[in-house]
Amino acid sequence: MASKGVRPVTGNEVTFFDQNGWVLLPGLITPDMCEAMVATGRPRMAEFLGGDQSVSAFEDSTREHMTVSDAQGQGTVTDIKQWVEWRGAVRNARDPAFCAVSLDKQTGSNVRRLLGRDRPVRVYHDILTCKLPDLVSIPTSYHQDGTNFPIDRNALTIWIALVEITPDMGPVQFYSGSQKCGLLGGIPFHSKFDLVEEYPELVDKFPLSPAHHMMPGDATVHHSLTVHGAAANSTDRQRWSFLTSYFPEGTRYTGAPNHDTDGLDLQRGYEIEHPSFALVD
């Protein structure tokens, strides 16, 4: 898929990513692409948004954790309290507005450069998120992605702001250099979890990145071992973002249970070649 709006990463950006485990990419995609994704996703997620622009009247007590709605066989729409999400716009729906970003050849080239692997990559998962306003959505606790991915290679995630996101809307923040710690711990599903609480020394060893003021099309990229999280959205505006995670071709399945791989008949120890994980060459 030829690029129509994804820019290449620069050498300085690759170097910054190598050192810090994350990087800010201003203007990665065009504002028009952002508008198209929100316009496509908003109707699918409407039942969980509590209104068109504001959810100040949204009754938090009525929100059942992990409430899931089938997105017409094209993924799932879920309220996970951290945000409302549509998971599968690329993997399941193959929606043109989202594939134009996630499956773009320039995106694939960017991921290869950032991962330092000169081979095609695959989409692990894609998630359109709306962090609800007025502190309805809870903060995203600090965690690593890689400890919960059932794959045996390093991965990365591209997180794109689809609207203007101010620091008080809860953009993602990163402990710079924390990817060098390796695996620190997975998210238990039976209790609250925050890596900074388990490893308070992270605060002293690694500087926390700022909460960036991002415009539509700006993005951050983070390594799957970089510790990251986000504050709640304290404004009256919805925080829309889209993320796609990638792993290099040749990655093997570890066999660990995960909703992104369960039911696909993947074989432990074998390369992941299932069509659900689109190849980006």
Q: What is the pLDDT of residue 259?
A: 86
Question: 3-state SS of 144-174?
Answer: CCHHHCCECCCCEEEEEECCCECHHHCCEEE
CATH architecture assigned to 11-53+66-280: Sandwich (2.60)
Are the C-beta atoms of 182 and 243 separated by less than 8 Å?
no
Lookup: tokens for 264: 């696909």
Question: What would the pLDDT profile of 246-266 be if each residue is shown by its tens digit?
Answer: 999 999 999 999 989 998 999
What's the pLDDT at 88? 94
Nearest by Cα to 215 from 166, 168, 164 = 164
The ranges assigned to domains in the chain are 11-53+66-280
Distance CA 70, CA 84 (A): 13
Q: What pTM was estimated for this model as a whole?
A: 0.92
- Among the residues of 160-212, which ranges form H helices? 195-198, 201-205
**Residue 11: phi, psi to the nearest 5?**
-60, -40
Q: How far apart are CA 199 and CA 259, in angstroms?
A: 27
- CA end-to-end span of the chain, whole Å? 9
The per-residue pLDDT string of the chain (281 residues; one tens digit each, 9 = 90 and over) reads 556 799 999 999 999 999 999 999 999 999 999 999 999 999 999 888 875 444 433 444 444 444 555 555 688 998 888 999 999 999 999 999 999 999 999 999 999 999 999 999 999 999 999 999 998 999 999 999 999 999 999 999 999 999 999 999 999 999 999 999 999 987 766 567 889 999 999 999 999 999 999 999 999 999 999 999 999 999 999 999 999 999 999 999 999 999 899 989 999 999 999 999 999 98
